[in-house]
């Protein structure tokens, strides 16, 4: 079938998939979601994505009514239908439909959507020469407003950050928190090699706990490469030896340029990329 969307158990082609205009995911971004990369028919780190989906729900007071086994069943069904062994998988759970109004108690029919789509074509230059990043003035959400560890359907500030980066000719944006500390990229986490050590902002700065970030931390530790979760400032980015960003779909992308700072060296980053590739290939052979 190729790309397809499963809505509450019903399969359609993406162009035929429809949800209600009263769905709160559409009206208010009242939803949580996960994006996974599928290798050889297996979603990478499925269990971790599942846990984060339920955790995101609980952070916005939305108890997902589907058990993990139903979720898995629907994923398997949708993947089987698509016959796409290497693809992008998105799961969205919305609080659903109900009469118009902000009160979550009005929601009566939650919606579970599973998208199986072609992997985006990331230009080879990103991996070979590195991406261009822009340090944006748009701040990451504060935890007291909406916890950035909840992956919700509300991405407007990250969207603005990315748009600003594009107007500056960059591929993506680095966002700071309200105190000016380095947070993350619009849809990726960041690792900085500074003072001879890989460092990444700690979760309590107010960032998404990326599954790729966690996988990389574990890989570095397992390979006795030092990694610290440390507060980082913009100055640390400018004096860094190397930087990379990471996410499920993009995996690891070295940074080639940030403002007027050019990063010619990407040796250390290439080592992490190789470790990640090895891990992906090993896990793709295991059952999930
Ligand atoms: C804000 C943000 N940070 C980080 C990430 C990377 O997370 P993961 O590695 O789980 O894909 C994402 C992914 O979409 C994101 O939206």
Summarised one tens digit per residue, pLDDT across range 230-266 is 999 999 999 999 999 999 999 999 999 999 999 998 9
Flag whether 271 is in a domain.
yes
Segment 224-236, tens digit of pLDDT: 999 999 999 999 9
* 148 and 62 both lie in a single domain: no
* 44 and 176 both lie in a single domain: no
Report residue 284's pLDDT band, with 50, 70 and 90 as the boundaries: confident
- What pLDDT score was predicted for residue 175? 98
* 149 and 278 both lie in a single domain: yes
* 94 and 198 both lie in a single domain: no
Domain boundary among 91, 117, 143: 117
Residue 171 sits in a domain whose CATH number is: 3.20.10.10
Flag whether 288 is in a domain.
no
Segment 98-122, tens digit of pLDDT: 999 999 999 998 999 999 999 999 9
Segment 147-190, tens digit of pLDDT: 999 999 999 999 999 999 999 999 999 999 999 999 999 999 99
Total length of the chain:
288
Segment 53-69, tens digit of pLDDT: 999 999 999 999 999 99
Segment 127-155, tens digit of pLDDT: 999 999 999 999 999 999 999 999 999 99
Closest atom of ligand 1 to CA, residue 148: 1
- What pLDDT score was predicted for residue 285? 85
Closest atom of ligand 1 to CA, residue 184: 3
Flag whether 251 is in a domain.
yes
The three-class DSSP label of residue 69 is helix
* 161 and 249 both lie in a single domain: yes
Return the structure tokens found at 258. Answer: 């940030």
Q: Residues near 10 by Cβ (< 8 Å), separated by ≥ 6?
A: none
* 186 and 202 both lie in a single domain: yes
Q: Residues near 75 by Cβ (< 8 Å), separated by ≥ 6?
A: 43, 46, 89, 91, 114
* 153 and 105 both lie in a single domain: no
* 9 and 111 both lie in a single domain: yes
- What pLDDT score was predicted for residue 184? 98
Task: Please determine, for residue 1, whether its predicted confidence score (pLDDT) is greater than 90.
Answer: no
Rounded to an integer, what distance in angstroms lies between the CA atom of residue 259 and that of residue 243? 13
- What pLDDT score was predicted for residue 104? 96
* 109 and 243 both lie in a single domain: no
**For ligand 1, is residue 82 a contact (CB within 6 Å)?**
no
Total number of domains constituting the chain: 2
Q: Which residue segment(s) compose the domain that 109 sits in?
A: 4-117
* 128 and 104 both lie in a single domain: no
* 181 and 207 both lie in a single domain: yes
The proportion of the chain whose per-residue pLDDT surpasses 70, expressed as a percent, equals 100
Closest atom of ligand 1 to CA, residue 213: 9
- Pocket test residue of 33, 151, 188 for ligand 1, highest count of atoms within 8 A of CB: 188
Flag whether 186 is in a domain.
yes
Task: Please determine, for residue 287, whether its predicted confidence score (pLDDT) is greater than 80.
Answer: no
Rounded to an integer, what distance in angstroms lies between the CA atom of residue 74 and that of residue 182? 38
Residue 78 sits in a domain whose CATH number is: 3.30.470.10
Rounded to an integer, what distance in angstroms lies between the CA atom of residue 115 and that of residue 94? 14
Task: Please determine, for residue 46, whether its predicted confidence score (pLDDT) is greater than 90.
Answer: yes
- Pocket test residue of 51, 138, 208, 211 for ligand 1, highest count of atoms within 8 A of CB: 208
Flag whether 278 is in a domain.
yes
Q: In degrees to the nearest 10, what's the CA dihedral of 35, 147, 203, 259? A: 80
* 215 and 93 both lie in a single domain: no
- What pLDDT score was predicted for residue 179? 97
Domain boundary among 117, 151, 175: 117
Closest atom of ligand 1 to CA, residue 52: 10
Contact between residue 188 and residue 126 where contact means Cβ atoms under 8 Å apart? no
Flag whether 197 is in a domain.
yes
Domain boundary among 92, 117, 142: 117
């Amino acid at each position: 079938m190729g790309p397809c969307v499963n809505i509450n158990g019903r399969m359609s082609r993406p162009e035929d998939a429809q949800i209600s205009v009263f769905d709160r995911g559409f009206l208010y971004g009242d939803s949580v979601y996960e994006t996974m990369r599928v290798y050889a028919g297996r979603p990478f780190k499925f269990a971790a994505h599942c846990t984060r989906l339920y955790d995101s729900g609980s952070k916005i007071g939305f108890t997902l009514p589907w058990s993990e086994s139903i979720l898995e069943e629907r994923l398997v069904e949708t993947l089987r239908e698509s016959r796409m062994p290497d693809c992008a998988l998105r799961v969205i759970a919305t609080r659903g439909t109900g009469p118009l109004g902000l009160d979550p108690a009005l929601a009566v029919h939650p919606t579970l959507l599973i998208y199986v789509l072609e992997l985006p074509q990331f230009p080879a230059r990103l991996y070979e020469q590195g991406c261009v990043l822009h340090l944006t003035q748009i701040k990451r959400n504060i935890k007291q407003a909406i916890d950035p560890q909840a992956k919700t359907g509300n991405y407007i500030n990250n969207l603005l950050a990315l748009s600003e980066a594009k107007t500056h000719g960059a591929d993506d944006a680095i966002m700071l928190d309200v105190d000016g500390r380095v947070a993350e990229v619009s849809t990726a986490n960041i690792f900085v090699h500074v003072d001879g050590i890989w460092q990444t902002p700690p979760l309590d700065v107010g960032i998404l706990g990326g599954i790729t970030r966690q996988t990389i931390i574990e890989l570095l530790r397992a390979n006795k490469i030092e990694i610290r979760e440390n507060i980082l400032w913009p100055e640390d980015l400018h004096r860094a030896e190397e930087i990379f960003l990471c996410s499920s779909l993009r995996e690891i992308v070295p940074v080639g340029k940030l403002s007027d700072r050019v990063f010619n060296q990407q040796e250390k980053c290439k080592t992490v990329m190789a470790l990640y590739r090895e891990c992906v290939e090993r896990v793709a052979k295991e059952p999930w």
